[in-house]
Amino acid sequence: MVVCARVRVYVCVYMRVCVYAAWQVKALFRRAQAQGDDNLKLRDLSDAIAMDPDNKAVAAEMKRIKEKDAKQLAAEKRAYAKMFA
């Protein structure tokens, strides 16, 4: 319960920071790390990449999330293939 409350506080703080200083790549990167949903993470990371295309940390995080999504999609395809085969 305490961890969940802390995560909510961190997400709220980073959202406020990004609203007031959306040009900061680091704030967007940190907000992406605090998000629970991968789609929201990718949105923040793509905004950060648009501002700073040479940022290796943002690119690496984006790649990691896309690979995780691809693995999850492949696992779902295998599971559904077994169901309907």
HEC string for 26-69: HHHHHHHHHCCCHHHHHHHHHHHHHHCCCCHHHHHHHHHHHHHH
Tokens of 2: 């305490």
Question: Whole-angstrom Cα distance, residue 23 to residue 50?
Answer: 10
Which tens digit of pLDDT belongs to each residue from 11-66? 665 666 555 544 688 889 999 999 888 999 999 999 999 888 888 999 999 999 99
Total domains in the chain come to: 1
pTM above 0.85, yes or no: no
DSSP symbols for 12-28? HHHHHHHHH-TT-HHHH
Task: Give the CATH number, domain containing residue 64.
Answer: 1.25.40.10
Range of the domain at 76: 2-84
